[in-house]
Structure 1
Amino acid sequence: MTKPSPPPARAFALAPTRGPVFGRALCAMVTPFTGSGGLDLDGAQLLADRLVSAGCDGLVLSGTTGESPTTSDTEKADLVRAVREAVGERASIVAGVGTFDTRHTLELASDAEKAGADGVLVVGPYYSLPPQDALEAYFRDVADACGLPVMLYDIPGRTGVRIEPDTLIRLAEHPRIVAVKDCSADFLGAHKVLARTALAYYAGCDEHNLALYAVGAAGYVSTVANVAPERMRAVLDAFDAGDTAEAARLQRGTAELVESMMASGLPGAVTAKALLGDLGLPAGPVRPPLRPAGRDTLAGLRAAHERLTA
């Protein structure tokens, strides 16, 4: 009996790629506060100008590192206006607007647009744990109502819900959903979305910057760039210049500081602000319930930073 032939392989057409719509090297900027805990707009302008002058193509405001859960709606809009004034058109501004309440998210998106943002970062609704169909409807509602391009923020470790690759692929059909900040640590899922969509993919975990860039990501949204913007960008510059060995060397060189800032048991907002303050740069305290880094932690951060930037 003749053995049946296997079915023919299904054709798989790669989607066209989209350029880095917000730039390649983006910093998830801290939100500077005064010593008494108020919003430090002068400090935000100084820090934003320094980051852009040091090579950041864009700034993501009021994200996780920007302590968005503890800043008011007014503070978020004021921050966008102040940073826009400081950097002008030298860099893109993406404003974090995602919440666990669709109505509130829509209000923040409208505020960000009026304040001068170039795009909005929309995290999945946290705490309520919506299923994928509800999650998709949430993002579509925001994109429908907002006049700005949307960057989806997939960070299941904080929200409790993954934006599944198939959901991202469907959402990519929306004309205003143009980018993803990926903190899923799912390389296979990222490859699938990169192959099937034109979404601009941004690494949201600094240890993945080069790996995702090498397979077609647009760049990164980096917390470590708050304190080492030139070093983080140098990885992408080397890769673009065709020196992949140098890009790999530079990426490996960031590992100690990335680990110290992002895997020490403290949020990146805490470690970034500790280092910025130690460097004499605007940062100020974190807002409760976060607490400042201790002396020993700061000493370790300082040592790792000095070794990277020496």
Structure 2
Amino acid sequence: MTTDRPRPRPFGRALCAMVTPFTASGALDPDAAAAHAAALVRDGCDGLVLSGTTGESPTTTDAEKKALVRAVREAVGDGVPVLAGVGSADTRHTVELAREAEKAGADGLLVVTPYYSRPPQEAVEAHFLRVAEASGLPLMLYDIPGRTGTRIEPETLLRLAEHPRVVAVKDCAYDMLGTTGVLSRTGLAYYSGCEELNLPLYAVGGAGYVSTVANVAPRQVRAPLDAFDAGRTGEAALLNARNTRLTELMMASGLPGTVTAKALLDLGPVREPLRPAGREAAEELRRALGELLAG
């Protein structure tokens, strides 16, 4: 008799938080988005998350978000989960974005905690429930208090997990005790949103990750989880360690992940108020990526 419990993976295991390509003039580039999405899937991504933090959602319009979903949906086909970021500080606006994402062909919604206004937990819960009732799509809740100013507290997550369309969490809360507590008491699928925690969270029952670094090294980000699933835990730890330098430079160097990812990709500029990486930072990023890809 086995004691293993099936690990819920409603959107796959290896997801990329995809950058949003722009033309040189700063307009949305749907063709480049389609090409990048298709390449990511070929290189091992199970699913794609659009219009999140890495996708520059605060500076893209509603029409651009919808066009992006359509372009990526057409590029990758129906078998690849496509999640649309619909989070905002305004519940009514978030509901509208959710409905438009469903019409555009999204398979799920990434919904961040309302930011800046710092609502109390009962308001946070009500916000997510309103969005869950607005469409027929499943939700991945995005818990990133470092950006929003508000945590989705574990007790709130326990209540939200009772809704049939609240199925997953993108976890950037840096609270492994709280996370494992929710994992042990619900069927929520937890996806790491912090590359350094991809393997640790997976080892305690997480579903996988939503990764910015996967934009430039999808196979390398996925490799530790592949090794872990094969029972090669020592190899998984080694592969995880090999990714550390690039992760540090992309995610903890003082530059946003959007900026560092676009410094390594020919996918256009970032939108203000973000600014491109300087020459020295870009060269260091390219060296680290080259060393990682060379094995």
| TM-score, normalized by the shorter chain, greater than 0.5 | yes
Is 1:227–2:216 an aligned residue pair? yes
Kindly report which structure 2 residues correspond to 1:267-278, keeping only aligned pairs within 5 A, or say none.
267-277=256-266
Q: Report the Cα offset of residue 19 of structure 1.
A: 1.7
**Which one of 216, 223, 235 corresponds to residue 246 of structure 1?**
235
1:296 corresponds, among 280, 285, 291, to 280
Write out per-residue CA displacement over residues 185-227 of structure 1, whole angstroms, 9 at most, x where no aligned residue: 1111111111011000000000000000000000000000000
Distance 1:39 1:304 in 2: 29
Supply the AA of the counterpart residue of 1:267.
P
* Alignment partner, residue 268 of structure 2: 284
Report Cα offsets for 1:240-264 as digits up to 9, x if no partner.
1110011110001100000000001
Which of residues 111, 133, 150 in structure 2 aligns to 1:122? 111
Aligned residue in 1 for 2:153:
164
Residues 52 and 90, structure 1, Cα contact 8 Å, conserved in 2: no
Contact 2:125–2:160 (Cα < 8 Å) also in 1: yes
Partner residue in 2 for 1:305: 289
Q: Distance in 1 between matches of 2:57 and 2:105?
A: 18
Cα distance in 1 for partners of 2:293, 2:156 equals 40
Counterpart amino acid of residue 297 in structure 1: A
Equivalent of residue 87 in structure 2, options 95, 98, 115: 98
**Aligned counterpart for 2:166 among listed residues 177, 190, 201:** 177
What letter is aligned with 2:269?
A: P
**Distance in 2 separating the partners of 1:246 and 1:227:** 22
SS of structure 2 residue aligned to 1:167: helix
**Alignment-mate amino acid for residue 289 of structure 2:** H
TM-score, normalised relative to structure 1: 0.93
Report what 1:209 is aligned to.
198
Matched position secondary structure for 2:87: coil
TM-score, normalization: structure 2?
0.97
Partner of 1:266 in structure 2?
255
Note the residue ranges of structure 1 that are not aligned, 5 or more in a row. Answer: 1-13, 278-282
For the 8 Å contact 1:253–1:308, the answer to whether it is kept is yes
CA–CA separation in structure 1 for the residues paired with 2:6 and 2:136: 23
- Residue 48 (1) aligns with residue 32 (2): no
Query: 2:180 maps to what in 1?
Result: 191
User: Which residue of the other structure, out of 216, 231, 237, is the alignment partner of 2:226?
Assistant: 237
Structure 2 residue identity aligned to 1:259 = E
- Equivalents in 2 of 1:91, 1:245: separation in Å? 30
Structure 2: tracts of 5 or more residues without a match: none
For residue 196 of structure 1, what is the amino acid of its counterpart? R
CA distance in 2, matches of 1:145, 1:111: 10
Map 1:7-26 to 2 at 5 A. Answer: 18-26=7-15
Are the aligned partners of 2:7 and 2:205 in contact in 1 as well (CA < 8 Å)?
no
- Pairwise CA distance, 1:90: 3.6
